Amino acid sequence: MSTGAAIITGQDAVWAFNEYESIRHRLPAMRQVSQSVRADDLDAIADQADVFLLDAFGVLNIGETAIPGVVDRVDGLRRAGKQVLVVTNAAGYPSSVLHARYHRLGYSFKADDVVSSRMALLANLRAYPRRRWGVVAAPKFGREELPDGAIFLEDDPNAYAKAEGFLMLGASAWSETRQALLEQALKDNPRELLVGNPDLVAPVEAGLSREPGHYAHRLADATGIAPVFYGKPFPAIFDIVRTRIRPGVPDDRVVMVGDTLHTDILGGGAAGFRTALIKGYGFFDGADPSAAIEKSGIVPDFILDRP
């Protein structure tokens, strides 16, 4: 049986950074930025943007805990006339669960203020023929928003054989046993693999959890099947974001804010927006990101101590 998503401890950021670098050949190209401007927080750069796109994990919250001061910061930006949207790779959660979480944490985002990679995947699913999808996600969240006939992939090999394609949304109930079943199923009968959360890891209270992107890239390496990704840093989620941004706002007045170079910063930059890396929480958790920026070549427009 599954024991839940594995938690990585120890040299979390070093391990994860190297993992992200190993899959760069599958990621978008970065918009070139010559040098980062360092500042304290979002208020310090508020005069340089009209729209802020905030990652969730590592910017709004760590696990189930709001980052101190960010609720007030978001409210203050709105009072100053800024548009604030959430752009999250939390594809394992139905929209209703996401909204309930943000409200529980003290945020007042409306439905249209949140864009998730789950939305991007499901919107693009309409282009595929109707089929029986095998779904990597926690059954406890139910079938909200999932296509008719979807099968939750657990420990029954028959479910993997019956599926006509696979959707990877969330890894909280995933395990190495289930990963092996999916890998063998793809080898026996190659099928499409659509991934709603390209993250390799996500910050939680105990460290970093392995996310669907981690498992999807392993499947690609083992089977030769190229996954189709729908979250940051890939374009599909930013296509939806553009429909939510106020008309007439130029790209250089939009800032994608996140804690991860290879998803938030790379994705926002590739979409043509400016970017701000949070170094005090999440992926870097207070460490200096300079070496990682230099090694990766992923340069944010701003580096902030905190959101």
What are the tokens at 35?
Answer: 């040098």
Q: Is the residue at 289 inside a domain?
A: yes
What is the domain count for the chain? 2
pLDDT tens column, 59-105:
999 888 999 999 999 999 999 999 999 999 999 999 999 999 999 99
Q: Is the residue at 169 inside a domain?
A: yes
Q: For residue 218, which phi and psi values (nearest 5 degrees)?
A: -65, -40
Q: What single DSSP character describes residue 154?
A: S
Confidence of residue 205 (pLDDT cuts 50, 70, 90): low
Q: Give residue 93's region: left, alpha or beta (phi > 0; psi -120 to 50).
A: beta
Beta strands in 69-164 (DSSP E): 83-88, 114-116, 133-136, 151-152
Co-location of 58 and 87 in the same domain: yes
Mean pLDDT of 283-299: 93
Question: If you average pLDDT over every residue of the chain, what do you get?
Answer: 93
Co-location of 221 and 281 in the same domain: no
Give CA–CA dist 300/193, Å, rounded.
Answer: 31
Q: For residue 136, which phi and psi values (nearest 5 degrees)?
A: -95, 100
Return the pLDDT at 3: 36
Q: Is the residue at 23 inside a domain?
A: no
Co-location of 41 and 169 in the same domain: no
Q: Is the residue at 245 inside a domain?
A: yes
Co-location of 197 and 242 in the same domain: no
What are the tokens at 77?
Answer: 């930006």
Co-location of 186 and 241 in the same domain: no
Tell me which of 229, 260, 280 is where a domain ends.
Answer: 229
Q: Is the residue at 6 inside a domain?
A: no
Q: Are strands 274-278 and 302-304 parallel, antiparallel or unpaired?
A: parallel
pLDDT tens column, 103-120:
999 999 999 999 999 999
Return the pLDDT at 285: 86
Co-location of 104 and 128 in the same domain: no
**Nearest partner of 189 among 155, 157, 154, judged by Cα:** 157
Tell me which of 213, 229, 245 is where a domain ends.
Answer: 229
What are the tokens at 112?
Answer: 């249209």
**Cβ atoms 242, 269 nearer than 8 A:** no
pLDDT tens column, 19-51:
999 999 999 998 888 899 999 999 999 999 999
Confidence of residue 164 (pLDDT cuts 50, 70, 90): very high
**What percentage of the chain exceeds 90 in pLDDT?**
85
Q: Is the residue at 185 inside a domain?
A: yes
Helix/strand/coil percentages in the chain, nearest 5: 40, 20, 40
Confidence of residue 252 (pLDDT cuts 50, 70, 90): very high
Co-location of 217 and 172 in the same domain: yes
Co-location of 240 and 296 in the same domain: yes
**Domain of residue 185, CATH code:** 3.40.50.1000
Burial of 303 per CB tally in 10 Å (0-12, 13-18, 19+)? buried
Q: Are strands 302-304 and 37-39 parallel, antiparallel or unpaired?
A: parallel
Containing domain of residue 49, as a range? 30-119+233-304
What are the tokens at 276?
Answer: 């701000």
Co-location of 92 and 237 in the same domain: yes
Co-location of 127 and 222 in the same domain: yes
Q: For residue 272, which phi and psi values (nearest 5 degrees)?
A: 100, 0
Give CA–CA dist 297/221, Å, rounded.
Answer: 24
Mean pLDDT of 250-275: 97
Co-location of 171 and 133 in the same domain: yes
pLDDT at 229 over 80: yes
pLDDT tens column, 209-227:
889 999 999 999 999 999 9
Q: How many CB atoms lie within 10 A of CB 8?
A: 20
Top pLDDT among 42 and 14 is at: 42
User: How wide is the angle at C-alpha 114 spanned by C-alphas 109 and 117, nearest 5°?
Assistant: 155
Co-location of 177 and 299 in the same domain: no
Tell me which of 229, 249, 276 is where a domain ends.
Answer: 229
